[in-house]
Amino acid sequence: MEVCVVLVRARNAGNIGAAARAMQDFGFADLRVVNEYSIPLEAARAAVDADDVLRNAKVCASVAEAVADCTLVIGTTAVGERVMEHELLTLKEAAVRMEGKYRVAILFGSEKTGLSNEELSYCHWLMTIPMQAREGRHLSMNLGQAVAVCLYELVRGNVLAEAGPHSEESTATAAEMENLTAVLEEVLEASEYTRRHPSNSDPVVMRRLVMRLGFHAGDARVWLGILRQVLWKLKRD
């Protein structure tokens, strides 16, 4: 299994550096940073002693780009007051379910706000580190510590040792799923579904709908073909 850590809108260079250091400590190499501006990553590169991981970190303009080649996308959350639409697993349960997967992305949100609903819509399911609630406090863990604890659980359980296959029969990548979502949106537009059911046609709602299907790679391609055919027909009439 290959694991990449995706930091979404991390603002603090120290936290990016700490996350990179935890990755290096536990033997992970693939860091992807989603940010509108590259300043925190550059500051982290200048300041911190985790050269390899930081030097090779990939800067992405969007979550979609960051997770495109992944077959499983997991969001992390501190379980606030937000209503959860996703299935939520503890870190321990999550490690078990990751076994045998091909390429997994673990998303960490910004220190202040976590992952937005739009960002969460790219995730197959969520995981959380069990914490002690404190009265009147919003539960949240330091970003560097959260990354360290999550990666420790993977190393601990030896989840990484079992390499998953990536054949035609395996799970679709996030890029394939995103492609499907985009074509579905076009179909809904062309069929005037979006006009009749605007509240169901939000891109985030659509993406969640497609993600929940949990397509195998081959199936995703077949469905894409079907949708394209429908689209062609709709536009032609």
Q: Which of residues 91-110 bind a copy of itself (CB under 8 A)?
A: 91-92
Q: How far apart are CA 235 and CA 90, in angstroms?
A: 46
CB 45 within 8 A of CB 54: yes
What count of other Cβ atoms lies within 10 Å of the Cβ of residue 234? 15
Residue of 16, 44, 70, 148 interacting with a copy of itself (CB under 8 A) = 148
Residue of 2, 153, 176, 185 interacting with a copy of itself (CB under 8 A) = 153
The interface region with a copy of itself, picked from 1-9, 32-40, 68-76, 149-157 by CB under 8 A, is 149-157
Helix H or strand E segment including 121: none
3-state secondary structure of 109: coil
Q: Binding to a copy of itself by residue 138, rule CB under 8 A? A: no
Helix H or strand E segment including 188: helix 174-190
Residue of 5, 7, 16, 21 interacting with a copy of itself (CB under 8 A) = 21
Q: Which of 86, 93, 83, 118 is nearest to 8 (CA)?
A: 118
Task: Give the ranges where 49-173 is alpha helix by DSSP (H).
Answer: 51-55, 63-67, 91-98, 117-120, 143-156
Which pair of structure tokens corresponds to residue 100? Answer: 């045998």
The interface region with a copy of itself, picked from 100-108, 126-134, 168-176, 218-226 by CB under 8 A, is 126-134
- Contacts of residue 220, Cβ cutoff 8 Å, sequence gap at least 6: 172, 176, 177, 180
Q: Binding to a copy of itself by residue 149, rule CB under 8 A? A: yes
Residue labelled with tokens 């976590």: 114
Nearer to a copy of itself, 22 or 211 (CB): 22
Residue of 40, 109, 114, 144 interacting with a copy of itself (CB under 8 A) = 144
CB 203 within 8 A of CB 117: no
Q: Binding to a copy of itself by residue 131, rule CB under 8 A? A: yes
What count of other Cβ atoms lies within 10 Å of the Cβ of residue 144? 21
Residue of 43, 59, 89, 155 interacting with a copy of itself (CB under 8 A) = 155
Nearer to a copy of itself, 152 or 193 (CB): 152
Binding pattern to a copy of itself, positions 66-95, x when CB under 8 A?
Answer: -------------------------xx---
The interface region with a copy of itself, picked from 108-116, 123-131, 195-203, 212-220 by CB under 8 A, is 123-131
Residues in the chain: 237
The interface region with a copy of itself, picked from 19-27, 54-62, 63-71, 216-224 by CB under 8 A, is 19-27
Task: List interacting residues with a copy of itself (CB under 8 A).
Answer: 18, 21-22, 24-27, 52, 91-92, 129-132, 134, 139, 141-142, 144-145, 148-149, 152-153, 155-156
